[in-house]
Chains A and B, each alone.
Chain A
Amino acid sequence: MAFDKMELRDTEVWDGNLAAAHALRQCQVDVVSAYPITPSTPIVEGYAKFKSDNYVEGEFIMVESEHAAMSGCIGAAAAGGRVATATSSQGLALMAETLYQASGMRLPIILNIVNRALAAPLNVNGDHSDMYLVRDSGWIQFDAFSPQEAYDLNFIAFKVAEDHEVRTPAVINQDGFMTSHTAQGVKTMDDDTAFNFVGEFKPMNDMLDFEHPVTHGVQTEEDWHFEHKARQHNDMMTIVPQKIDAVFEEFAKLTGRKYNQIEKYDMDDADVAVVCMGTSVETAREVAKEMREKGIKAGVVGIRVFRPFPFMAIAEALKDVKAVAALDRSAPGGTAGALFNEIAGSLFNSDSKIVLSGYIYGLGGRDLTKRHLVDLYTELQANADAGKVLTQQQQFIGVRGPKLAYL
């Protein structure tokens, strides 16, 4: 092969960004079209360095904005290449228009979003505002809770997205700084094993196949637009979840690391549970264990796949729980948190007698401490004992000033 292989130790101490950059290298991405933004910059910077050091056979396109970055990815993917990029926050906001183009054109692009707050006020730290901004853009959305998962989920995302029955772009979310700039042990795959898992890119309807000319970027008005969107949604609801499960299974066989659309921790006999995303899932796992020592049967549900949303799996996981909290790391802008609404939707027509409360936390990188979570589980136990939400349905965790509670 024209490029060099890299010797990795079985466990490398990598932050989430470096883990994602190595995954892009090992997948031998053909084209990265990117514009840098904190805290995601080291991912594309890492790919560029691997390329200039001859560890990747690919192209790096430097562009003038994130809108152009994703446009470059769309062009390269339509031409028939394995394509990826990374962004955060305002960069993702500027990309938003083109994300819908990518999913509508069924181009299997991989986007690493290093989650960061949206201005104003300007803030470079981690929250889920950007993740929520594009949640309905037709992309598959995975969520990593640690650098290890940022690494693993990249391979999984390529394999799912590029499947010819899926052909849908995918996002891998990781928490800005809390994952992206936190170095932890990451179990690696060697270059051959990693590449063989995703395999050679197999194009479909590629523009550079001149024997089979195709049209990309078509216009459909009221005659066909709805059918296109409905078909796409149908695939998200029926084909994609099955493919994700199959790839999770295959990855587990290879590495021993088993992922699930929702991750359940201490949920078998839980009376109270927290549902959240990102690094908070792991901190909550630790606190749940400590609560059990105090006699509170606490559990955690982490959302691994945010889109397609695991609606039925959530209902099933929570069916015997008495009180649950939905934690949203994004300003709700005048309604309940998105996760609160999703979970409420999944539970509403079920037989569950569960009581649900919502919490907004961690905006702009505000710390979610173990003490916050101890208080939260204690409050949930009181709700469980009373059989109703004793507080208002929406509260804020860790914000200074007078206590905020609504609904």
Chain B
Amino acid sequence: MLEIRWHSRAGQGAVTGAKGLADVISTTGKHVQAFAFYGSAKRGAAMTAYNRVDDAVIMNHEKYMEPDYVFVIDPALVYTSDVTINDKQNTVYIITTHMSTEELIASQPKLEGKRVYTLDCIKIAQETIGRAIPNTPMLGAFMKVSGMYDMEFFKESMKRILAKLPQKIIDANMLAIQRAYDEVK
């Protein structure tokens, strides 16, 4: 079982990102689950979304999770939410920030000794898509860090998932995914 927790603000696309990732993974024959904690979420409120991936049908519906990966797609949440809660020894963090990994860890001591990768999903999204929607860049970074799928396969799959959007936006998302793949450290 592979488990992922997303830290996001409502409106940044974590739910769409989690469902998109689940959709891609599902096409390879694996079983998936994507869900979120909503509450009466308002735009901008901190929220979490989740993915589970397994070879067998996923029966577990508990919300509690000890994640293998933690995605943080808003830079401030590292300070205002406990992004390390219920983590494991080998949990991998992919965090969006304008800082280097070393600077980030120095600014948030809770991340010391953890496996942390960083990139600036917000900047990438702004420069490619034209809006601060950091979900698809995060998935590009995840492909690099996890080595889960070949990048061409992943991009083709995402094109299908984004198919309802205008071609210009789809192309921009492909650029964002590739840049995130190249820039994550």
Give the interface of A toward B (CB within 8 A): 9, 11, 13, 15, 124-125, 175, 177-178, 181-185, 279-280, 282-283, 285-286, 367-371
> Max chain B CB contacts within 10 Å: which of A177, A181, A184?
A184
A175 to B61, CA, bound (A): 11
> Does B62 have its Cβ within 8 Å of any Cβ on chain A?
yes
14 further contact pairs, Cβ within 8 A, besides A178-B61, A182-B34, A368-B62: A15-B19, A124-B38, A175-B61, A183-B18, A184-B22, A185-B32, A282-B59, A282-B61, A283-B61, A286-B59, A286-B60, A367-B62, A369-B62, A370-B62
Question: Could you jot down 29 A-B contacts, CB within 8 Å?
Answer: A11-B26, A13-B19, A13-B34, A15-B19, A175-B61, A177-B35, A182-B34, A182-B35, A183-B18, A183-B32, A183-B34, A183-B35, A184-B22, A184-B32, A184-B33, A185-B32, A185-B57, A279-B61, A282-B59, A282-B60, A283-B59, A283-B60, A283-B61, A285-B59, A368-B62, A370-B60, A370-B62, A370-B64, A371-B64
A124-B39, A185-B26 known; A369-B64 Cβ under 8 A: yes
Which residues does chain A contribute within 8 Å of B27, judged by CB atoms?
9
A13-B26, A184-B32, A185-B31 known; A280-B61 Cβ under 8 A: yes
Task: Please tell me if the beta carbons of A178 and B35 are within 8 angstroms of each other in the complex.
Answer: yes
Which residues does chain A contribute within 8 Å of B64, judged by CB atoms?
367, 369-371
A52 to B180, CA, bound (A): 38
Which residues does chain B contribute within 8 Å of A282, judged by CB atoms?
59-61
Which residues does chain B contribute within 8 Å of A183, judged by CB atoms?
18-19, 22-23, 32-35
> Does B63 have its Cβ within 8 Å of any Cβ on chain A?
yes
- Say how far B1's CB is from chain A's closest CB, in angstroms: 10
Which positions 100-144 of chain B face chain A at CB distance < 8 Å?
none
- Say how far A116's CB is from chain B's closest CB, in angstroms: 12
Interface size class of B (residues with CB under 8 A): 20 to 34
> Does B90 have its Cβ within 8 Å of any Cβ on chain A?
no
Which residues does chain B contribute within 8 Å of A175, judged by CB atoms?
61
- In this complex, what residue of B is CB-closest to A373? B62
> Max chain A CB contacts within 10 Å: which of B22, B31, B34, B61?
B61
- Say how far A148's CB is from chain B's closest CB, in angstroms: 9
A407 to B156, CA, bound (A): 60
Which residues does chain A contribute within 8 Å of B38, judged by CB atoms?
124, 177, 181
> Does B40 have its Cβ within 8 Å of any Cβ on chain A?
yes
Which residues does chain B contribute within 8 Å of A368, judged by CB atoms?
61-62
A124 to B59, CA, bound (A): 23
Which residues does chain B contribute within 8 Å of A181, judged by CB atoms?
35-36, 38
- In this complex, what residue of B is CB-closest to A175? B61
> Does B162 have its Cβ within 8 Å of any Cβ on chain A?
no
Which positions 1-46 of chain B face chain A at CB distance < 8 Å?
18-19, 22-23, 26-27, 31-36, 38-40
- In this complex, what residue of B is CB-closest to A11? B26
A125 to B41, CA, bound (A): 12
A344 to B98, CA, bound (A): 61
Contact with A along B54-82 (1 / 0, CB 8 A): 00011111111000000000000000000
